[in-house]
Each structure stands twice: as C-alpha cells, then as structure tokens.
Structure 1
C-alpha cells in the first residue's frame, strides 16, 4: 500500500508511544469523525436534520465501522477520504456556473480533488472512485451544455423578443458555456491529476529518508510496480477469504482477535469484522429499491450515491486475488444513504411510517448491543455465542 495511511498511524505512535493505544488511536479518531461526516453528507443529500441523524446513527451502530476503525489498519482512512471526496463533488454537482460565480464552484472541486489525492496516497481503493468523480463532473458539464443548446433555441422564439430580462439571461448562458467549460476542465486537471500526483509522491518522502533507501524517481516508480505486482499476481488462500459476491450477504466475516488466555474454557473473547444485518441486508434492499425509484423520481443526490457505490464496488468484480469482507467497508456509507432515502420516500408517502423508522433504528441498536461482545473482545460465555450469535455456520466466533 502507499505509505500515507501508515504515516497517519505513526502520528498516534509518536504521541502515545509504541503500544496498542498508540497504534489504534488515529484509526479510532477517524472512525469517530465518520459519524459527523455522515450527518453532514446526509443533511446535504436529504435536507432535513432528522434524516441526517438517522444516517449518522446507522453508521455508529454498524459492526464493521466499529470493529474496523479500532484496529491498526489503513482501511478507515481510505473510506473516510472517499466520503469526503464524494461529499465535495456532490456539492459541486449541486451548483451551476451560470447562476453561481465560477470561482465559487472551484472550491468544492478543489477539496474533492485534494481528498482524492490524500486518499489515493493512503490506499489504492480510493483511486477506483476517480472514475465516479469524473463521471459526475462531466455529466455536470453535459447538463450545462444542454442549457446552452436550450438557450439558443429559446432565443429564436418570437415570444422571447419582448422579454429583455430573459433574453439577457439566455445570452449570458450562450456567452459563458465555452469559456467556463474550458476553464473548469483546466482547473480539474490541476485538482484531480497534478495535485494528487504531487501528494502521492510526497507521501513517499519519509520512506526515502530512511538511511540506505534509494532517493530517485526510478525507485518511486519501482515501488509502484512492486505494489501492483503484489496485488495482481498474488496467489494465496485464507480461511477467512471472501469473494466480492459474498460481501453484501456477509457469508464469511473476518476474525481479527482471539483472547483465549483472557477467557475461561467455557468463555469467549474475540473480535470479528462484518456488518450489522439491519444495515447491510436492509441497505442492499434499499439500494436496489432506490435504483428502481430513480427511474421515475430523479434525485441528484442519490445519483451521486449510486455512482459512488458502483465505482467502489464494481472494480472488485475484476480482482482475482484473495479478498476479504472488509473490502466492502467503502460501500457501507452509500448503503446507509440508500436506507435513509427509502425511509424518507416512505414517510413522505405515509407519515405513519415514522413509527416504522423508529422501530428499525431500535432493531439496529439492539443488534449492535447483541453482537457487541464479538466486535469488541468482551468476554462472554460460549453459551451466549451459540444461542444468540451463531446465525450461520460461518458465523462461529470461536474454535475449540
């Protein structure tokens, strides 16, 4: 992996020492920050605090969010920066350089590109999202193009001749399109290509500063080739490996920790990473339903959510090497937004469904509390695990 994620981990070690707390504190901090970020993103998508609160709540009770951000791995950083880059791209997509000042539209583009670069320097999964960002950006330009064409047609209509204000606006659109489009593409070349490449390259400087390490562009390129060769040519098996099509159904959780020395023979202490069934299974159904709904009820925010989900998920279909369920973590925020979108849709159709939303949130919390022992390493009896948690044969949570 690129080094920035590990450098972020090293900040915690620098502050608190080479100990378990120092290893994990930065990932946990990022996991905590994901919750208000989910709130802000959902508020931007759906406009109401109640729906933003529901999204943040679902993120906080998701099993993988809890388990994955409490261990010293780099996955949390990748997911966090993916959320940020799509949040700012959605802000840009919600703007229009015919109505908003062009300079104002550059700010969300810059921030989206900045977090894309930081994320790519943390973990390559962020690069997958680059295709989604490009699709949203160019679709936005296509919408401006359609307005430009429409303005030309309206200017030819006799009924607009007497409307000076309208004709002035239409002429402004005709005048701005080519100039602003060219400038937007040029700025995006800086924001999404040049700046990310610089950030990515600079992230290797601490490695090159290690005594004995070669300091050259050629060595930097060799490093990239080595990483690519590892991921593309890896031939390995693992008892907890899980292909992409198993992730949404949580067929095979991944086991992170077994504290046999901390537990009596009839007790269990373990940490597993997988999803809250009320979030992942309901989220999958909600995502499919939202795609169907989008065909007849356009929603710009959910279009961005769909693009984000597919841009992060579909590349894994092509990956033939060993993979694990935690690779699905990047899709979880967008599943949550799909759930909230469908809840909003149902409540707007029938306000009585608010009670159902509250019941659903309660079930999500109940499941989190039920499974908390095997997410946290808490010592519990094997009888508790066997009775309440072992829903499937691959969810066994202990051996022996």
Structure 2
C-alpha cells in the first residue's frame, strides 16, 4: 500500500499569511495620533499638493512615495488613516518579501518563517509602517526586487528576462521614492555578473539568456519605471515638468540632497546606528488629549543579536564556502555601506532602517545553523517580550505624564 507523501506548506501561501498578519498588526491604532508626526510635516503637505496637481513641492526627493501617500488620502480622506494606510501595506509587503528572500537563499521553511517573524517584531519596521514617510515605500520595493531577482535565477529564456526586468522595475520604483535605493541597481548588476562567472561552465542560472541581455533589461526596467514616476508632474497647474526639463530636474534633486543642513537634536553618526546609540523620538508631546510618544528604535534582541548573526554568517560563509550566507551578509552590508560614503551633512538613526531589515534573514539563518529549535523558540519569545515591553512608546499609547519616557530609555542617549 502506497503512503501519501508528507504535505508541506507552499511558500507563497505562507508569505501571504505572514503579510496578512503583519498588516493586521500594523493597522491597529494606526490613526493615533490624529496629528502629523515627525517628517509627516513635509510629506503629507507635499502629497496634498500632488493630489491637487498644483505645483512642485518637496523637490528634495522624487515623487513616488508622496504619490502613494496622496493615494491614501484620495481613498480614505485627508486624515491620519489616509496619510498612513499605504505605509502599513508597504510594511506587510516587506515582511512577506523578507520571508521570500530567506526561502530563496536557504530553501527551508523554518528559517524563512523566523525571518518574517523577526521583521514583524523588529520595531524599526513597525514604526516606519505606521508613519507617512518615504523610507517604508522605498524599503518595500527594494526587498521585493531582491526577492524577484533571486527567483529569476532558475528561470530560463523569456521568463528569465521578464523576471529580471520586473526586478529592475521594482528597483526603479524604489529609487522613485528615495535615491538611497540607487546602489541596489549596481548590486543587482554585479550579482548577475558574479553568478554568471561562477557558473560559466554550465549556465545554471538564467538558462538560454546571454549576460548582456540580462543587464540590459535590468537597467531598462529600472530606468523606465523611475522616469514614469514623474508623470504626475507633467500635469501640474504651475511649473509643470516637460520632456526638456525632466533630466535637468534630477540635478535639482541632487543639489537639495547634498545641501548643508543645520544641526539637529537627534542627528547621529553612521557608526552609531548598528549599536542603536541615538534612536529618535518621532513624537513626545500631548496629542489626542494625552501625553504620547513614538520612539523610532530597534528591538534590542533583533538589532544587537542581528549583528552577532551577521558576524557568524560571515564566518560560516568563508569556512563552508556558503554563497547563501555570504549573500545575506552582503544585503546587510550593501544597505549600510552607502551611508558611510554618501555626501549627507547630517545622519539619523532611521537611515539604518533598510539595513536593519536585512538583520532578520541573517538572524534566522544563524539561529537555524547554530542553535537548537528550542533555543530558536526561546529567542522568538524574547524578541516578542521586548516588543510588548516597548509597545506603549512605539504605538503612541497614553502615558502617565511628561517623565513617563524614563521607563523605556535604558541609556541617557535614548532621551
């Protein structure tokens, strides 16, 4: 008598389930406070102006992130839910994509699910998924692009070209939110070249497609998607873009990106971000009839534990010649490295946001490799407990008074 093969959950279904759970988590109390928070004061007014197709505004950044915020306002009204709704969607997509990245690299369900859970509990993602800023949209497109490009490796012919073009388009959309995503286009091209050189004998990846074609569709996909994000600006009532001014406008963005800014209370240096020496209070004031706070901070178990995981994964990748572990380390480093060399006069902890996301697959991979399943479960419980502990000051719950922040500020630099 034949026995049925054991059933395993399909990765796509697990990814969707993780995304739905994350969306539910991020939506709870997302409209609180009902006032603008931190950099929402820049991007929500810009979104309103875009929705009215009035005139150029907030020209430091491309249009797409603000257009997405505008879509939320159009859908739900000019209120706190409308401002932030699509940020929650971007956060949920990010969770699912981090699961997909880990699955693609390791081919195992348990560490992939762990990566998704760590993303939900990371707190950097939780906070950015509940605020109308550009970084959450950029990150969602970047991690989705990585997942799609990883999936493209095993495709062949026209399907491979289509997937690589889609991955490039997603990178272009990320750049259309913030230029901080630009390096990932270079990383994608470099990864294609490296994999092709390693597999030159049997072409294990992208079968039936020559390397120049892969690079071409990657760049064309990214460039076309990026340029299309400027389409609304062609319809402004005042000072609209034209084909003649589209490329010169990029110089305007560059000039504003590199201008010298005045010192800021929460500025910090790039070397301090992995150590979380200076998190940022996005809100700490009376709002909606109570004292409330929102601290942009990482989950200590994930942020600090993730650094150990990156080091362990790097060691294992060298010792065991594991390309998968090296890729995970490279994702974290690739997101972090540009901020070391980028010409910005000020730095802030939230610039580390994208890097902090790639700690999740690193941590999942290291736990899966080095510790027992019981220890893995214990670590998840620790991360969840810390999430619950910090929950009042990442979700703007009513606090006891002006000095309530002292319950959660472990170090003087967190104040």
Counterpart position of 1:339: 363
Partner of 2:394, secondary structure, is: helix
Find the aligned partners of 2:115 and 2:100 in 1 and give their Cα distance: 9
Partner of 1:199, secondary structure, is: helix
Give 1 or 2: higher helix fraction: 1
Counterpart position of 2:160: 105
Partner of 1:257, secondary structure, is: strand
Counterpart position of 1:137: 192
- How far apart are residue 384 of structure 1 and its match? 5.7
Report the structure number with the largest CA radius of gyration. 1
Find the aligned partners of 2:228 and 2:288 in 1 and give their Cα distance: 43
Counterpart position of 2:237: 211
Q: Which of the numbers 156, 169, 188 marks the counterpart of 2:215?
A: 188
Aligned: 1:305 with 2:328 = yes
Find the aligned partners of 1:333 and 1:130 in 2 and give their Cα distance: 18
Counterpart position of 2:292: 269
Distance 1:237 1:298, change over 3 A: same
Find the aligned partners of 2:129 and 2:410 in 1 and give their Cα distance: 24
Counterpart position of 1:31: 91
Aligned: 1:291 with 2:319 = no
Counterpart position of 2:382: 363
Question: So what's the TM-score if we normalise by structure 2?
Answer: 0.79
Partner of 2:397, secondary structure, is: coil
- How far apart are residue 52 of structure 1 and its match? 1.7
**In the comparison of the two structures, how many residue pairs are matched?**
352
Q: Is the 8 A contact 1:132 1:308 kept in 2?
A: no
Question: So what's the TM-score if we normalise by structure 1?
Answer: 0.82
Distance 1:215 1:232, change over 3 A: closer
Partner of 1:87, secondary structure, is: helix
Counterpart position of 1:326: 350
Aligned: 1:317 with 2:340 = yes
Q: Is the 8 A contact 1:258 1:270 kept in 2?
A: yes
Distance 1:186 1:106, change over 3 A: closer
Deviates more, 1:245-254 or 1:122-131: 122-131
- How far apart are residue 235 of structure 1 and its match? 2.9
Find the aligned partners of 2:146 and 2:287 in 1 and give their Cα distance: 44
Deviations 1:147-196 (A, max 9, x none): 26xxxxxxxxxxxxxxxxxxxxxxxx7xx99x956x3312421x222232
- How far apart are residue 263 of structure 1 and its match? 5.9
Deviates more, 1:358-367 or 1:214-223: 214-223
Counterpart position of 1:73: 133
Deviates more, 1:316-325 or 1:6-15: 316-325
Q: Which of the numbers 59, 73, 81 marks the counterpart of 1:13?
A: 73
Counterpart position of 2:301: 278
Partner of 1:275, secondary structure, is: coil
Deviations 1:260-281 (A, max 9, x none): 25566xxx41111121111110
Aligned: 1:128 with 2:128 = no
**Any gaps of 5 or more consecutive residues in structure 2?**
1-60
Counterpart position of 2:273: 247
Q: Which of the numbers 21, 34, 55 marks the counterpart of 2:115?
A: 55
Deviations 1:60-82 (A, max 9, x none): 11111111110111111111111
Q: Is the 8 A contact 2:152 2:160 kept in 1?
A: yes
Deviations 1:293-325 (A, max 9, x none): 110113332222222222221111113411211
Find the aligned partners of 1:230 and 1:136 in 2 and give their Cα distance: 31
Find the aligned partners of 1:370 and 1:284 in 2 and give their Cα distance: 22
Q: Is the 8 A contact 1:89 1:137 kept in 2?
A: no
Q: Which of the numbers 263, 266, 290 marks the counterpart of 1:237?
A: 263
Partner of 1:379, secondary structure, is: coil
Superposition CA RMSD, Å:
2.2
Partner of 2:281, secondary structure, is: strand
Q: Is the 8 A contact 1:82 1:129 kept in 2?
A: yes
Q: Is the 8 A contact 1:39 1:55 kept in 2?
A: yes
Q: Is the 8 A contact 1:86 1:308 kept in 2?
A: no
Distance 1:263 1:278, change over 3 A: farther
Aligned: 1:114 with 2:138 = no
Find the aligned partners of 2:221 and 2:341 in 1 and give their Cα distance: 28
